[in-house]
Structure 1
């Protein structure tokens, strides 16, 4: 048990009564159906409360006045059917009701300072028009509900940066999603009728193999995520040959993540095809037994990323919300190599949108990069969506994500000691970032133009050629 996690007995026996706790997390207690008043003894000191995994279905009337400085509230995996009235709580910034049984969000119940809203995996048919009273809303997770439209008043949330709409009932996406939000950069909508119908029109790239599970000898786990497990394996393409190849295998499992469904991720990866800045997909795993691989939705075999590649950044935390974080070890990029890496990632973006696939999570923490080679690999398709002609505006939404990536990478390049060429490249990248994040969404470049600008900086065969940058 961590220092901030306590069981119900410790809460009720009075042993915590004299502690000025700022953070309280209760161990999952499904039998708890009434809010424990003992929590109110923490009063103004409490800023973080997690009562997930309980049987709670309501909050007491004095919740707001008794915990006046609460900033973060987790009530996931509980029994709420109606969103509680938090409108008078003026310090709440993050609220999570993942995997409840919510069917209603009454008007004027959202906290006005709300920045991060998690409503994944409920049965919500609509959002309240009063969501417009949350101008700070930056991150909104709505995957796995019954939404078929969004209120026009959502456009008042001008700080909205990340929106998850996967696994709902949208037959088409509201047009205002592609023009009305100057900061929107990360959008996912897979698993909706509009995306499923578009996916049927796509064909899998030529050359993907069906790879029997029996031909893979799994050796070690490389990573675990919400949608599955990635392992290193030795692949024997032919039972009659001694030749083997080291590969990576991802087995998709689970039902729903905050980004969407594992099966939609797998389909997007397979449809993406090959590009030098995407992790290569060899084929699809076949022949595994559901009994042996309980809960598995499918699997893919990928090229094994060579040594020397490291994750470019760390995912956002509760404080940074939609911004990646970076350590000193991730810094130290040389400007020319950084531009080469960014050119490759922009090329991957152009390739994906050429196949009408939106990555949805174009972040530094989803890029594996080699400083020495100036090369990056874009991975993690958990938020990827296949789209049709009606959703063409989604590309310029994702260009904003690339603009944010450019800004992050500039922060990783050592500015001290730069020569005139490097300074000119920095000015060029700053101008490109400004254009990619332009609040006039329709005025942004597409990925093809972004690639051309970056190639212009590098010049033919790597000879530096800096475009003029307007003052």
Structure 2
């Protein structure tokens, strides 16, 4: 975090990233003194309503964040910023997205938690667009021209007013991560999931201890669950009410319940009852301390791909253990009529031996399994996400023999095929991985 005093004193000359959050109501003109170096400008958490017409003077600007401000219109001046590729205006009051506001190199657009009812047709002209985050708006449709965005990989559509998914979604050759919960098209299925009977665990039975983690949708605590005869260590997730980048916390709760039981999924034990503030919560099995995140989330530079530790390497056995467990978990979820929506390494917990758990249902979405065509299409989108994961694992795998390398490379290529229905099913993926595990065991 920087200060206006630093900016005015010239102490920030040459910096590439500027972060100012100090109740600004006007764009500080002193920012233009950084035009020779500034690439990332973060003005989130202020009270801005506009940007200056001469913003393009920041000729090296690649990323702008103006979340939690008071914009009602996406500024048209953004469209004249030639180097700008990432635009983030989360949690404003934006209703109007003018055609002129879209920069030519747009790669990543964040309009989460606004009041947008319609997007301009020329969004489909953004050939570099990879991530489109629109959760928490009032969209009833999307421009058909988005079918032209062949690089589009991640779309967040949760908590809008969509009655159906557009057909062109399934023509996008690289669509990998899709979220649409909290729309009329899936409301009935979400309500049914929330009504699935779970054991009610009275708040008085829980001795809540330290905070284990905080996500966009809630807080996770370590706790002790007391019954008549025993005390069991558990995790308790208390959901927030706020919109997240993926969607509504209540939809995540429904997904967590619907996921059911599988050895490679985090397990839900019951639903919190009688919370003193009526907060929704779930009690889950406590994940052992030897589990750790497989990777970190995407960076501004990587955009859609996770970031691994530079030294991260896997043995063939560990790599195949992780891949097989996650493919099986994904297959299980789709059998329940649910796509994870965020099948990424950063949402996978692993041990040194390759035990793996797929977690975080914040982007999960439901569909009717009796609609076989839709089910097959949505599953194949998730297959591409698995293909990206498998590609990352194989790249970091030591000592693979030539035959295994060829088989895994072929499986990755199959998962990443541009034609959705040419990709394998998760059942086929699981079968191939189990066969490779057997071959690896014999070779060892």
Tell me whether the two structures share a fold, i.e. TM-score over 0.5.
yes
Shift of 1:351: 0.6
CA 1:328/1:19 → structure 2, altered by over 3 Å: closer, same or farther? Answer: closer
Question: Are 1:441 and 2:420 counterparts?
Answer: yes
> Do the aligned partners of 1:335 and 1:425 also contact (CA within 8 Å) in 2?
no
Q: Which residue of 2 aligns with 1:278?
A: 265
Aligned counterpart in structure 1 of residue 234 of structure 2, from 242, 247, 252: 247
- Does the 8 A contact of 2:153 with 2:177 survive in 1? yes
Contact 1:204 1:270 in 2 (8 A): no
CA–CA distance in structure 2, aligned partners of residues 19 and 306 of structure 1: 47
> Do structure 1's residue 233 and structure 2's residue 223 form an aligned pair?
yes
Give how far 1:340 is off: 2.2
- Indicate which of 347, 350, 356 corresponds to 2:331: 350
**Contact (CA 8 Å) 2:124, 2:143: kept in 1 or not?**
no
1:24-61 per-residue CA deviation (whole Å, 9 max, x = no partner) reads: 111231xx332222211212321111111222212222
Q: CA deviation at 1:411?
A: 2.3
Q: Is the 8 A contact 2:193 2:255 kept in 1?
A: no
1:16 is the counterpart of 2:10 = yes
* 8 A Cα contact 2:194 2:254, kept in partner: no
Distance between the aligned counterparts of 1:370 and 1:52, measured in 2? 37
Structure-1 separation of matches of 2:14 and 2:61: 13
- Which residue in the other structure is 1:469 paired with? none
Distance 1:45-1:210 versus aligned 2 partners, 3 A rule: same
Please tell me whether the aligned partners of residues 199 and 387 of structure 1 are also in contact (alpha carbons under 8 angstroms). Answer: no
Q: Does 1:210 align with 2:194?
A: no
Q: Distance in 2 between matches of 1:196 and 1:119?
A: 22
- Post-superposition shift, 1:17? 7.5
Match of 2:134 among 133, 142, 146: 142
Could you tell me how far 1:117 is from its partner in structure 2? 0.7
Equivalent position of 1:468 in the other structure: none
Q: Does 1:359 align with 2:340?
A: yes
Summarize deviations over 1:365-406 as a string: whole Å, max 9, x none. 11111232x321000111111122374221111110000000
Q: Is this contact kept in 2: 1:56–1:78, CA < 8 A?
A: yes
Superposed CA RMSD in Å reads: 1.9
Provide the C-alpha distance between the structure 2 equivalents of 1:269 and 1:308, rounded to a whole number of angstroms. Answer: 23
Counterparts of 1:51-450 in structure 2, within 5 Å, are 51-64=43-56, 66-85=57-76, 86-178=78-170, 180-202=171-193, 208-238=198-228, 241=229, 243-290=230-277, 296=279, 298-328=280-310, 330-331=312-313, 333-372=314-353, 374-388=354-368, 389=371, 391-392=374-375, 393-415=377-399, 418=400, 422-450=401-429
Deviations 1:308-344 (A, max 9, x none): 222111111111111101114542x221232122111
Name the CA distance, whole Å, in 2 between partners of 1:397 and 1:217.
41
Using the TM superposition, give the Cα deviation of residue 463 of structure 1 relative to its aligned residue in structure 2, in angstroms. 4.9
- Whole-Å separation in 1 of the counterparts to 2:319 and 2:121: 44
Residues 271-315 of structure 1 deviation map (CA, whole Å, 9 limit, x = unaligned): 11000110111111111111xx7xx3x111111122322211111
Residues 59/202 of structure 1: CA separation in 2 closer, same or farther (3 Å cut): closer
SS of equivalent to 1:108? helix
TM-score by length of 2: 0.94
Deviation at 1:455, TM superposition (A): 1.6
Q: Secondary structure at the match of 2:35?
A: helix
5+ residue gaps, structure 2, are: none
Number of residues of Structure 1 aligned to a counterpart in Structure 2: 438
The structural deviation recorded for 1:204 is 6.2
| Compared CA separation, residues 387 and 28, structure 1 to 2 (3 A) | farther
Q: Matched residues in 2 for 1:253 and 1:134: separation? A: 34
> Using a 3 Å threshold, how does the CA distance of structure 1 residues 201 and 44 change in structure 2: closer, same or farther?
same
User: How far apart are 1:362 and its partner, in Å?
Assistant: 0.4
Aligned mates of 1:120, 1:438 — CA distance in 2: 30
CA contact 1:173–1:391 (8 Å) conserved in 2: no
Unaligned runs of 5+ in 1: 466-471
Q: Do the aligned partners of 2:349 and 2:358 also contact (CA within 8 Å) in 1?
A: yes
What is the CA-CA distance between 1:229 and the residue it aligns to?
1.3
Mapped to 2, the partners of 1:273 and 1:18 lie a distance apart of 52
Aligned partners of 2:62 and 2:95: how far apart in 1?
Answer: 25
